[in-house]
Structures are given as C-alpha cells and as structure tokens.
Amino acid sequence: MAHCVGTYARRAARGEVQIFGLQRSDGVERATVVIRPPPYTCESHDPVDVEVAASHNGPLRPSMLIALGELLQEIGGPDLEVHLGTI
C-alpha cells in the first residue's frame, strides 16, 4: 500500500491495535484501517481511535469511506464513538 502502516506491526502483535484492509471487489480501490483498541476488547460505550489511509496516502474515495462506515457499524453499532485520523 506504500504507506507507513508497518509502524503498527509491533502494536498489532501485542494486541493493542487491529489492522484491516478494505478493498473494492474489482480491486481498484483499497484502504488500510487501524483501530485502537481492537474491536470487541472494550466496553460498547468506549470510544475508538480509527486511522485510515489509501494507497500511497492518496485521497480516499467515497466507496472506501462507505466500507469504513459499514465496518464500524458491524463492530460497534450505530452509537459507536469514533475519533478519526489518518495513518
């Protein structure tokens, strides 16, 4: 993906973050998402920090933002408090 998600490897190995790869079915658009704390490891009312980046830290396409929203809806429901940033 040509961005710095590798800097999260140790934190992922320690279970501090979880890294997701989002990809459109045709493979044209991709994004990487880092969630802290990892899903299902905290109380449902606790906020999560979410960092997202497209390939080469390029612009995020609407389809990736929709996919991110669906992922967050799945792991935290409609009331999940999210602090959003970039990788």
pTM of the model: 0.85
Return the number of other C-beta atoms located less than 10 Å from residue 48's C-beta.
20
pLDDT of res. 69: 93
Res 79: pLDDT: 85
Our measurement of the distance from residue 66's CA atom to the centroid of its chain's CA atoms, rounded to an integer in Å, reads 12
Helix ranges, 22-79 (H): 62-76
Please give the DSSP secondary-structure letter assigned to residue 55: G
pLDDT at position 28: 79
User: pLDDT tens, position by position, for the chain (87 residues)?
Assistant: 555 677 888 999 999 999 999 988 887 788 999 999 998 887 767 899 999 988 888 888 898 999 999 999 998 888 889 999 887
